[in-house]
Copies of this chain bind each other. A is one copy, B any other.
Amino acid sequence: MPKVIIVGGVAGGATTAAQLRRIDPDIDITIYEKGRDISYGNCGLPYHIGGEVAERDQLIAATPESFLERDIIVKTHHQVIGVDAGSKTIQVKDVLNGGTFEAEYDYLVLSPGGAPRTIPTLLDVPQAFVLHSLEHLDEIKAHIENKNIERAVVVGGGYIGLEMVENLVRRGIRVTLVHRAENLYHPLESDMSGFIADELEAKGVDVKLNAEILDVDGDIATLSTGEEIDAPMIVAGIGITPRTDFLKDSDVAMNDAGYVCVDQYGRTNHEEIYAVGDAIETSYQHVDRPVNVALAWSAHRMAYVISNQISGDKTAHFEGLLGTNIIRFFDYDIATLGLEISELKEYPHFVIDHKQKNKAGYMADSVPIHVRLHVAQSDGKILRAAVVGTEGVDKRIDVLSAHIRLGGTAMDLANIEVAYSPPYSSPKSVLNMVGYKTMEKMNRLKDG
């Protein structure tokens, strides 16, 4: 009976274990998780602070006990500190009790995830938090309740920061957002993101742009602008780094940024070692280019692929990523897919920009949707898409994703047969119109 060891028990790791057990009732599965908990809804953590997830325990999909019932052994507080691919062993540290031991595997699945970044200034500040685990959530909630927190500082204007801001505001906490750059939410084109600052102002959030926290003294933080602000709670939401330090003495191949490189089967450079989740580098689906993005969809898909590979069904594979993503920011939905803005310059392309009502324009509650495509000049391939609005954005990005995946071009969007009725679309939908616009643009380019 092959022995499978899984490093990391959250999204990718837990899903791989569950799926593997589903396929194979007998295979030997052990999960080592450095933290206290496994299999919780990481992406849902902020929404419990805001109250949309009513009960904390709703975020927990499985426990070591529930996994044991399915004959999956889970060792929490057990940190894997080394991998020896030659002898097929790992070194494990028992975090609570001390001591290390070795364990042998036939298949190893790496799902270490990312470590939340913070800033050195905040390292020893007792009221500074990150939110990346259930433990973090419990700490933050305890702090809010014990200290009766009414004001908070959020550091970082990316997706983690914005979700944090929204949920603290929903909880009734007055928020100051400190962001070190000029533009908020850098995954979105800066000339499309002006509404974020407006929305922050409308919700009473103090925004400090081009600012960093230089020092914290008691409950007062001093910014690089010289300003002092109330900071009885600080949450840093400035991204993650792959938690792959433990692999540095192994010869598991990683890219320069420390992401584990995998192929379409989730395999590393070692036949028996797979990797999944936020710490991997895979490829784009639509262009030949490596990518590492921390997205739950791909973790779940890769977990499926890996569990099938290990259990002997070699047909399952990972097609690569479009990087389809969305965040809600108060009334707005912000979605993108495809190449990052910084990657576009290597691809000759033109831009199609389009605004149209989400439903029949005569409906009283119709609202505009803004779509921007970056389209390859040679063949009309959609390299990148951004969609922003207050309703129906998720529909348009998902349709784009399905369309691009099967080879649909920007021109071909004209042919998508949408479900039309006045409450849902125009007869020529937002995406149809983008298709027609692209056809005209392509014809102009051809003509001269």
Docked pose: A408 CA to B403 CA in angstroms: 10
Cα A206 to Cα B298 with chains together (Å): 49
Question: What is the size category of the interface that chain A forms with chain B?
Answer: 35 or more
Expressed in whole angstroms, the minimum distance between the Cβ of A149 and any Cβ of chain B is: 22
Which of B326, B403, B414, B428 is within 8 Å of A402, CB to CB? Answer: B403
Q: Is the CB of B364 within 8 A of A422?
A: no
Q: How far is the CA of A397 from the CA of B246 in the complex (A)?
A: 45
Which one of A50-58, A183-191, A347-355 contacts B?
A50-58
What is the CA–CA distance of A395 and B419 in the complex, to the nearest angstrom? 9
Contact (Cβ within 8 A) A420 B295: yes
Note all chain B residues with C-beta closer than 8 A to A319: 415
Neighbouring B residues of A285 by C-beta, 8 Å: 417
Interface stretch among A40-48, A62-70, A100-108? A40-48
CB A165 to nearest CB in B, in angstroms, measures: 15
Q: CB-nearest residue of chain B relative to A321?
A: B417
Q: When the two chains form their complex, are residues A44 and B11 in contact, meaning their CB atoms are under 8 A apart?
A: no
A401 CB-CB contact with B under 8 Å: yes
Q: Bound state CA distance, A322 and B360, in angstroms?
A: 21
* Contact residues of A between 378 and 424, Cβ < 8 Å to B: 392, 394-395, 397-399, 401-403, 405-408, 414-424
Tell me the nearest residue of chain B to A403, going by C-beta: B402
Question: Quick check: is A365 within 8 A (CB to CB) of the other chain?
Answer: yes
Residues of B within 8 A of A216 (CB): none
A427 at the interface (CB under 8 A from B): yes
Say yes or no: B53 contacts A363, CB within 8 Å.
yes
What is the CB-to-nearest-CB distance from A80 to chain B, in angstroms, rounded to a whole number? Answer: 24
When A43-B360, A44-B362 are in contact, do A397 and B419 touch as well, CB less than 8 Å?
A: yes
Chain B residues, Cβ within 8 Å of A81: none
Contacts A402-B399, A402-B402, A425-B394 given; does A322 touch B417 at CB 8 Å: yes
Measuring CB to CB, which residues of chain A are less than 8 angstroms from any residue of chain B? 11, 41, 43-44, 47, 51-54, 58-59, 285, 295-301, 304, 319, 321-322, 324-328, 333, 335, 337, 360-365, 392, 394-395, 397-399, 401-403, 405-408, 414-425, 427-429, 432, 436
The 6 A-B residue pairs whose C-beta atoms are closest, nearest first, are A406-B406, A326-B419, A58-B362, A395-B395, A296-B427, A300-B427
Add 18 more A-B contacts to A53-B363, A54-B364 (CB < 8 A): A43-B421, A52-B364, A53-B364, A297-B418, A297-B427, A299-B427, A301-B415, A321-B417, A324-B418, A326-B421, A326-B424, A394-B425, A395-B395, A395-B398, A398-B399, A401-B417, A401-B418, A401-B419
